[in-house]
Amino acid sequence: MRERSELGVGLLLALIGILVLTDAFTMDVDIAQRGPVGPRTVPFVVGTGLLVVAALLTVDVLRGGRGEAEGGEDVDLAEPGDWRTVLLLAGVFLAFAVLIGPLGFPVAGALLFWGSAFALGSRHHHRDPLIAAVLAVVTYAVFDRLLGVPLPGGPLMGVL
């Protein structure tokens, strides 16, 4: 039974690798790029890496290799998962995806960073929003201004 699940992981990795490479090949890219590394480079590297890892895993499993069961280090494996944190993080990511269009990246990103910190247990209610806002604005500036990757500015477009 365990061999089937490990083969399934290899198959899943291969399918994701094929999907990533297919998207990279069909990506509509402007020929005039800034240098030898264009927007297709990372998807090609990631997709190829996924296919290589899938092939190596499949060969290892077919030769009888078995991964060791997770020891859990300092985690009690008998305890149930922390679904509250998982659901809070999923809600924060969903809210970010919905709000990035109308509010722009700086505001939606600040909410994402603050919400993630809150969901993961930070209770510095005065400090976290400030750090999240600075992190979102710096991220926006680096991507939009320095890297030339346009992010939606939202209502702060004229200010930033």
Please state whether the predicted TM-score (pTM) of the whole model is above 0.85. Answer: no
Which tens digits make up the pLDDT trace of 58-79?
998 888 877 666 665 676 667 7
The answer to whether 160 touches 137, Cβ cutoff 8 Å, is: yes
* Contact assessment for residue 153 and residue 106, using Cβ atoms and an 8 Å cutoff: yes
The two structure tokens encoding residue 147: 């890297």
Closest by CA position to 47, among listed 12, 6, 14: 14
Q: Where are the domains of the chain?
A: 2-62, 83-156
User: Tens digit of pLDDT for each residue in 3-20?
Assistant: 667 778 889 999 999 999
